[in-house]
Amino acid sequence: MIKKILLILIIFSVCLPNTFLGAQEHFDTDSIPSLKTLAEARGKYIGTAVDIRSLKYDPECSQVLADQFNVITPANALKFDATEPGRNIFSFKDADAILNFATIHNMKMRGHTLVWYLQIPSWLAKGKHSKEDLKEILHNHIKSVVGRYKGKIYSWDVVNEAFQSNGTLRRNVWLNNIGAEYIELAFRWAHEADPNALLFYNEDGIEMRNKKSDAVYELIKKLKAKGVPIDGIGFEGHFDLAPEGTMKNMAANIKRFAELGLETDFTEVDVTLAENILRKKFYKIIPNGKNILDALIQKKILLDISLTKVRLRYHINNIENAVRNIAGEDFDKVWAILKQSYINSPTINKEKKLEKQAKIFNDVCTVCLNNPSCKIIIFWGFTDKHSWLRRFHNDDAPLILDQQYHPKPAYYKIIKAFQNKESN
């Protein structure tokens, strides 16, 4: 009998993770107000993306989420592949669960995303669609998804990442079969489905003035002039430790979008510690570089883009042909980059990296705080434990809390930015 009681006691104590000590144990809630309290005091919202699995299976994640944030973006639950796995066959289980959590905790919810080139279901990606057929598919998808959450999801990333870094429209199933008008149609259909929802164009890599942000600016300006219902721009804010420009550049670039009458929010902020020299080269040197890099990773040809080397799956017969099939006319440039199997990157120590990271988070908050058209800052996750970036580098630490939910320098910089009344 004694043995049995002892055994039960041991099991209970082992299963009592620090989650029962809870996030309070990590947060000094006596002297530091929550992020959402500080944001509200400055007339802003602060939110985070969340994956359904973290919400369901990590109690500390849901506790910190409820305590610290007042906006939530489902990282995947509202994407095409999740919501319409079969043609006109919808599934909202995960999105409903996240909306339910948001409702219970009095949080706003952003819808992400209706039209993108990734995470589309195979029936759509592999199907042969005429222009009219694909327009019907897209119209029905938007009407069904936005209509279901009418009045409950306050804003939508209607179109996501339609441009390439060189300022041309990204080739995708929508552009190839409908043409560039798919963007305007998507906004008009989303507005029909919920006239009160704020409709955003969301893009990566447009925080600074560059070919891509110029192209997005010109398109949105043209569409707004035609009366297309676009309310905001989502500057994703996926930074690394060497952003393209300064805080001043970022503020000036965002200001011109604000002058179009748009809300200008940061929608997916994280700051990778990995100095992705390879990634930057792909994006900079190769017009279709992001797609090619994604494809090399998704087809597991490129196994890792680590700081010091490119790991290719050499045991594929004739790796060169496998890369050629993906890279097409860009093969020579791609192969030249990939052949650099050792990329010497400036290795700086972790503390220095965390300081640089904290400065970038501070800059984002400062630009938002100093800009009336910026209402919301959304982090693409808040603990390194659940960051999407760790699939590229398992030791990456791109967010404001570490894997044990301990605040990092970035967290304290953000607190200071929100508490500091003068422009930071």
> In whole angstroms, how large is the CA radius of gyration of the chain?
22
Site residues, ligand G3I (CB under 6 A): 51, 75-76, 118-119, 160, 204, 236, 268, 388
Calpha distance 200→374 (Å, rounded): 13
The 10 Å Cβ neighbour count of residue 390 is 18
Token pair listed for 198: 């704020």
Looking at beta carbons only, is 27 or 282 nearer to ligand G3I?
282
Is 268 assigned a catalytic role?
A: yes
**Shortest distance (Å) from residue 4 CB to ligand G3I:** 39
**Shortest distance (Å) from residue 38 CB to ligand G3I:** 25
Q: Are 424 and 375 in contact (CB under 8 A)?
A: no
**Shortest distance (Å) from residue 314 CB to ligand G3I:** 23
Is 236 assigned a catalytic role?
A: no
Calpha distance 102→104 (Å, rounded): 6
Q: Tell me which residue has tokens 């080397």.
A: 309
Looking at beta carbons only, is 67 or 294 nearer to ligand G3I?
294
Q: Which residue of the set 60, 161, 203, 263 is catalytic?
A: 161
Looking at beta carbons only, is 27 or 200 nearer to ligand G3I?
200
**Shortest distance (Å) from residue 23 CB to ligand G3I:** 22
**Shortest distance (Å) from residue 268 CB to ligand G3I:** 5
Token pair listed for 397: 């630490």
**Shortest distance (Å) from residue 153 CB to ligand G3I:** 16
Q: How far is residue 143 from each of residues 7, 97, 109, 118, 186, measured CA to CA in Å?
A: 56, 21, 18, 20, 10
Q: How far is residue 51 from each of residues 71, 235, 245, 255, 385, measured CA to CA in Å?
A: 14, 20, 31, 32, 12
Looking at beta carbons only, is 121 or 409 nearer to ligand G3I?
121
DSSP output for 110-121: EEEEEE-SSS--
Q: Are 193 and 147 in contact (CB under 8 A)?
A: yes
Looking at beta carbons only, is 52 or 250 nearer to ligand G3I?
52
Looking at beta carbons only, is 70 or 267 nearer to ligand G3I?
267
Calpha distance 256→267 (Å, rounded): 18
Q: Tell me which residue has tokens 């597991």.
A: 300
Q: Which residue of the set 84, 207, 236, 268 is catalytic?
A: 268
Which residue has its beta carbon closest to ligand G3I? 388
Q: Which residues are catalytic?
A: 161, 268
